[in-house]
Amino acid sequence: MRAVVLVGGFGTRLRPLTLGCPKQLLPVVHSTMIERVVGRLGEIGVTEVVLSLGYQPDSFREAFPDGRCVGVELCYAQEPEPLDTAGAIAFAARAAGIDDTFLALNGDVLTDLDVGALWALHAERGARATIALTPVEDPSRYGVVVTDDDGRVRQFIEKPAPGTAPSNWINAGTYVLEPSVLDLVEPGRPSSIERDVFPRLASEGSLFAMGSEAYWIDAGTPEAYIAAQLDELDGRRSGAHVSGIHPGAFVAATAKVERSVVGEAASIAEGALVVDSIVMRGAVIGGCAVIRNSIVGWDARVGSNASVLDLSVIGPGESVDAALTLEGATVPPKEMWT
Show me where the domains of the chain are located. Answer: 2-225+228-233, 243-336
Report which DSSP code applies to 336. Answer: G
Mean pLDDT on 53-76: 89
pLDDT of residue 20: 87
Residue 241 clears pLDDT 90, i.e. is over it: no
Q: Tell me the CATH architecture of domain 243-336.
A: 3 Solenoid (2.160)
Tens-place pLDDT, residues 152-197: 998 888 788 888 888 889 889 999 999 999 999 999 899 999 889 9
Residue 51 clears pLDDT 90, i.e. is over it: yes
Mean pLDDT on 119-129: 94
Residue 238 clears pLDDT 70, i.e. is over it: no
Tens-place pLDDT, residues 26-50: 999 989 999 999 998 998 889 999 9
CA distance 223 to 60: 25
Mean pLDDT on 148-152: 88
Handedness of CA 94, 95, 97, 103 (dihedral sign): negative
Q: Which residues contact residue 313 at a Cβ distance below 8 angstroms, ignoring those fewer than 6 apart? A: 14, 15, 16, 17, 222, 294, 295, 297, 329, 330, 331
Quick one: 2-225+228-233 is in which CATH superfamily? Spore Coat Polysaccharide Biosynthesis Protein SpsA; Chain A (3.90.550.10)
10 pLDDT band, cuts 50/70/90, is confident
Mean pLDDT over each residue of the chain, to the nearest integer = 91
Cα-to-chain-centroid distance, residue 142: 15
If one compares 272 and 156, the residue with the highest pLDDT of the two is 272
CA distance 29 to 192: 32
Residue 240 clears pLDDT 70, i.e. is over it: no
pTM for the predicted model, two decimal places = 0.90
| In the chain, % of residues over pLDDT 70 | 99
239 pLDDT band, cuts 50/70/90, is low
> Rounded to 10 degrees, what is the CA torsion of 106, 110, 113, 119?
30
Mean pLDDT on 263-274: 96
If one compares 155 and 113, the residue with the highest pLDDT of the two is 113
Which long-range CB contacts under 8 A does 253-260 form with residues at least 24 apart? 255/285, 259/230, 259/233, 259/234, 260/233, 260/291
> What residues does 284 pair with on adjacent strands?
267, 301
Report which DSSP code applies to 245. Answer: B
CA distance 66 to 270: 41
